[in-house]
């Protein structure tokens, strides 16, 4: 009888571990059958980010232009987290890009087998002084 209880306990622990592992698994956006969707579509997301970007004074003064690439995770509740700059530009642009992204609305989360999952995205944020 004691052996059966230990096996059941071990099985229950394995199930709990599997559930925890799936909670932290981050899926790649490009590989999703049901990827996250921004309310109004991806064009609306980029428009919102573009409007929220504040060109850093130091970057403008030194005529610094280019693209910052930021990765982040769209959580199961649609919020964005774990921001990381993958391609830096400097002069305060990296922080400005993250700040603009953080101002965006929540996403409709990606799904696997009908359940919301965490999804990683990479987004380019362009800094240009041209009108």
Quote the distance between the C-alpha of residue 25 and its chain's center: 13
In a domain, 74, yes or no: yes
pLDDT exceeds 60 at position 14: no
Contacts of 108 (CB under 8 A, 6+ apart): 36, 37, 38, 39, 78
Alpha carbon of residue 110 to chain centroid: 11
| pLDDT score recorded for residue 3 | 34
Q: How confident is the model at residue 23 (pLDDT cuts 50, 70, 90)?
A: confident
User: What CATH number should be reported for the domain holding residue 38?
Assistant: 3.30.2420.10
* Residue 42 pLDDT > 90: yes
DSSP state of 100: H
Residue 73 lies in a domain: yes
Domain that holds residue 79: 26-127
Q: What is the pLDDT of residue 8?
A: 38
Please indicate, yes or no, if residue 123 is contained in any of the structural domains.
yes
User: Quick one: pLDDT at residue 9?
Assistant: 36
**98 falls within a domain:** yes
pLDDT at residue number 21: 54
Predicted pLDDT of residue 28: 96
Domain membership of residue 71 (yes or no) is yes
Q: Is residue 94 part of a domain?
A: yes
11 in any annotated domain: no
Residue 11's pLDDT is 38
Specify if 14 maps to a domain: no
Count of C-beta atoms within a 10 Å radius of residue 47: 13
Q: How many structural domains compose the chain?
A: 1
Summarize pLDDT for 57-105 with one digit per residue, the tens.
999 999 999 999 999 999 999 999 999 999 999 999 999 999 999 999 9
pLDDT of 119 above 80: yes
């Amino acid at each position: 009888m004691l052996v059966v209880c230990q096996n059941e306990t071990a099985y229950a622990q394995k199930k709990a571990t599997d559930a925890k592992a799936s909670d932290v698994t981050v899926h790649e956006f490009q590989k999703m059958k049901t990827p996250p969707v921004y309310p109004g579509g991806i064009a609306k997301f980029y428009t919102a980010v573009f409007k929220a970007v504040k060109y850093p004074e130091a970057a403008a003064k030194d005529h610094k232009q280019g693209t910052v690439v930021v990765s982040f995770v769209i959580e199961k509740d649609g919020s964005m987290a774990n921001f990381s700059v993958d391609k830096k530009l400097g002069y305060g642009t990296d922080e400005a890009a993250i700040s603009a992204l953080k101002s965006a609305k929540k996403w409709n989360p990606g799904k696997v087998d009908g359940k919301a999952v965490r999804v990683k995205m990479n987004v380019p944020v362009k800094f240009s002084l041209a009108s």
